[in-house]
A and B are shown apart, each in its own frame.
Chain A
């Protein structure tokens, strides 16, 4: 579009009123969803634990736990202030009590503790204030009941980390159903809550061996639902962070279940539109896998190429970053297997009109290890890269890119000057060949379109008359045909095997 070159008044500033359009910054929004929270239970302050005689402390501890199981409506900020304060104080006391006291976690305490935690943290998450919530742009809706919830989580952690804590007793109460509800909470919009949940789940995974497989499976389900059904789940990053350390601990050789998780869950996670929120954690997980088992490199790279972003440049930059992380740990034998499809993609990125994409791809040439791999395989990579590099060295609008491209071409020249000269000399001829091929293709399709018309006409005839005309391309039973097909069938069932 032509730029306006008229007088200054010609320039209208479409944003001039933006200030007035934007509402004054609202206070951070809060939400909480409790359906028909039971009211009417008035809390009566109990004596302080530290003032009670040791013999009565245990009973009082349980009483306080029961007291703290009562939940309050925080959306109504003025209701039952007294009760809220009593509960807050009790919670704080409980935290101190199990942190400082030894031998307080008797067997009878476990069900009460878990019950108290469950009744506080397990709840239906409130609807998002902002239906178009964009975690990158908008402030999250915070949990209104956080003043209590925070201390409950704090208590939960102290409980799990207590030297007296015995998983063999706790597993009766912290069971699959409990974990399932815990995992659902990772969708909380409140980052403070997700942070606590992350630590909590990590501790549970560490202490309850019997729940590990179950936890992994449920995380799988959450991710698959996120990828294929809703594209919405706030805690993907946190779950990936936990998985990063879980993967780190996998024994070798990797189980089929774990490989399947990498290929069928982690790789497809790359295609969600909110990738930027968890990409760092995701890339870490992927690289962890490759460090464990180098033979996974090929399916991983091919997977990434399959989900390569078509329109989102920002995501493309992330993909390139991840590819470089993979290349950093790649074994030369694996590199050879993926170099061709990979560098075809890199060649496209290098010539991207979006300079950040081009720049990110060109930075690969600053990486010494990557350079050494390219050098070893220059006879394959140079012919793939050369045409696009040569073209954009003349055409790209961004001077930084042009400079970087010159550098890359220079390294190629130093690597293999003979091949470089050949490529330069053949460049024009190759382009002409390409154009010719293109033209041939076009003609093929034109002919095919002609056939379509013929076929439609003929088909109408076919319905009434058997195909006798030699013109009709219904030459059934030609013996030559079977052999013509032969080369294509052996690659069968890749779809199923995928």
Chain B
């Protein structure tokens, strides 16, 4: 090995080479991640003349290492001597842009794009563009796929002749024989459109785009999908008169494509498209198309459209907003929601998507319309059999609250909350817990004590850990809201009582509650109520409880004065340190360490 301790300056490169050959991937990864350090130590000249060629020539490794390398090289410009020398980074990145693994290639392309900006115009034409051309005409599809992402960065800065060449290459990639390459080209079309001159956009790119959007491979909808994405960029650049003739026919076709995936994509991008084409076309063309998507025969498409209802309505031009919503959109929403009652194959996704956005219409439509048209819908949704629907209504309560207050809803709200709180799916229970503090704030303390407090306590003994954990955090937020006095009278007694529970998991819950409550309840309560309970649990029969005592003491130790720590916490921890259980000992000594350091 070349390592020679006599010459300190050679030290790092020797380490690198050694580590690069280590059998352990992790170690190889480490050395690659230290690459910038090594380059720094080598100096710019030797980095250029030795390190970079070495990397270019000898690296063949696991994709993980290559990924790290590709990332590092993107930040190497200063390490090789800045703008003037940055092109020496191109060869290794070019190799990386041809490997099989997509993640590595994408990262290499990202780094290439980054360093393209560091190139002078002359170097861009002399080094960078030739690289793009090489990749674009590579044998294996991977290099051509990578090339697609490299057009938009150099294009604005090169001469018109080179520009013409780049356009030709891009056109070839759009018509590539391999669908993977066509997909990549379609995916990058939008960003390329943004840097293209308007005349070429119209003469070159739009025909290409129209072609991709009607990709001849009839079943192969994956290319057409991406063309929809490109549509957003293209539409935002073109002047209005061109839009109608060049873009809208294709877009309308896409909205009625026979593949649901393409229609889904249109629905998914709908609000972006809406912004791109502007208010006039929105009124004339998009609103009808949107209605179509809301009533699509495929549930996936309806759900995607449903998710956009609120934003679409917000973006409607002010003069027609209210009428469009009332006469066009709302009927579709209702149709889409109640359709489910009619067909046997109920689709919950559509319903819950609608439930999650419909509350957002309330601020747009104002108080009267909300009360008259939306409120009945909310009430029906609150009683829906699908828990996600109810949950989505509850989680968006604040929108409605601002417009009409929630008193009108509270009658229906309570049964819905209670039912969700006891839902058999723990994720649903978890979600409703997260809205408790918000609900508590809006419904007020009395209502809470009377109706919801018991629920909150019941969650503490749920049989799913995630729920118990969320329940303890919920208590903390409630105490923050209602104050420590409320805490002492309403919840502390119950928390403390759980320390006597025969189930060790519940005894641990007491400890978890103390962890989060100690601070918000204040030192007084902690010393007089919590601490004795915690200390008593230190002699619990179950080791899990005992080491959680150690953890709790570590956590709350900072609240106490030195005397309490020394007279009560330390002795207890010392005892736990001699416990027969390995984990208990570990956490006890860790706690002692932390407490000593703090003191």
Contact = CB atoms under 8 A, between A and B. Distances in A.
Interface in B254-285: 256-261, 263
B317 to A, nearest CB: 30
Contact of B9 (A1, A10, A475, A491): A475
Contact of B41 (A451, A476, A481): A451
B378 to A, nearest CB: 27
B210 interface: no
B141 to A, nearest CB: 7
B376 interface: no
Interface in A61-79: 75
Task: Please classify the interface of chain A as helix (H, G, I), strand (E, B), loop, or mixed, using the class held by over half of its residues.
Answer: helix
Interface in A16-70: 16-17, 20-21, 29, 33-36
Contact of A452 (B23, B34, B178, B259): B34
B121 interface: no
Interface residues of B, number: 79
Interface string B94-107: 01101111100000
A494 B58 CA distance: 7
B37 interface: yes
A85 B163 CA distance: 62
Nearest to B461: A12
A477 B42 CA distance: 11
A489 to B, nearest CB: 5
A180 B18 CA distance: 50
Nearest to A471: B8
B450 to A, nearest CB: 28
A141 to B, nearest CB: 11
B54 interface: yes
B583 A181 contact: no
B17 A35 contact: no
Nearest to B541: A6
Interface residues of A, number: 74
A127 B62 CA distance: 35
Contacts of A459: 40
Interface stretch (B43-51, B355-363, B409-417, B488-496): B43-51
A16 B12 contact: no
Interface stretch (A153-161, A393-401, A421-429, A440-448): A440-448
B502 interface: yes
Q: Max chain B CB contacts within 10 Å: which of A75, A124, A444, A472?
A: A124
B599 interface: no
A6 B53 CA distance: 65
A354 to B, nearest CB: 19
A237 B582 CA distance: 49
B53 A451 contact: no
A124 B261 contact: yes
B40 A221 contact: no
Given A2-B543, A264-B100, A484-B10, A16 B58 contact: no
A126 interface: yes
Q: Among the interface residues B53, B96, B582, which one has the most CB atoms of the partner chain A within 10 A? A: B53
Name B's interface SS: helix
B12 A268 contact: no
A112 interface: no
Contacts of B567: none
A122 B220 CA distance: 12
A116 B300 CA distance: 29
A344 interface: yes
A444 B27 CA distance: 13
B43 A444 contact: no
B34 A489 contact: no
A225 B179 contact: yes
A439 interface: no
Interface string A118-132: 000010101100000
Nearest to A474: B43
Given A306-B62, A481-B10, A496-B98, A473 B583 contact: no
B60 to A, nearest CB: 4
Interface string B123-139: 00000000000000000
Nearest to B98: A496
B505 A36 contact: no
Contact of A7 (B7, B60, B463, B502): B502
Interface string A464-488: 0001000011111110111011011
11 contacts: A10-B504, A10-B542, A35-B257, A36-B297, A221-B180, A473-B12, A474-B43, A485-B2, A489-B53, A493-B57, A494-B58
